[in-house]
């Protein structure tokens, strides 16, 4: 179950990468709030 959900999230991110850059985004399809966090060096 968790692996299937992770696969859905990964696929969605790959298809919508530009939509969440620079902030958060609510994904109604997956019922999740997604955000991008800058890398720490």
Q: How is the chain split into domains, by residue range?
A: 2-35
**In this structure, what token pair is assigned to residue 30?**
């997956």
Q: What per-residue confidence (pLDDT) applies to 22? A: 67
Confidence check: pLDDT of 3 > 90: yes
pLDDT for 39 equals 75
- Asked whether the beta carbons of 23 and 35 are under 8 A apart, the reply is yes
Q: What one-character-per-residue DSSP string does 1-37 give?
A: -HHHHHHHHHHHHHHHGGGSTTSEEEETTTTEEEE--
Q: Tokens standing for 31?
A: 């019922």
- What confidence score (pLDDT) does residue 7 get? 92
Specify whether the CB–CB gap between 19 and 28 falls below 8 A. Answer: no
Question: What pTM did the predictor assign?
Answer: 0.62
Q: What pLDDT score does 30 carry?
A: 85
Per residue in 9-35, pLDDT (tens digit) is 889 888 877 777 667 788 888 888 887
């Amino acid at each position: 179950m968790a692996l299937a959900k992770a696969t859905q999230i990964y696929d969605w991110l790959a298809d919508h990468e530009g939509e969440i850059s620079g902030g958060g985004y609510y994904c109604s399809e997956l019922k999740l709030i997604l955000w991008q966090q800058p890398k720490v060096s």
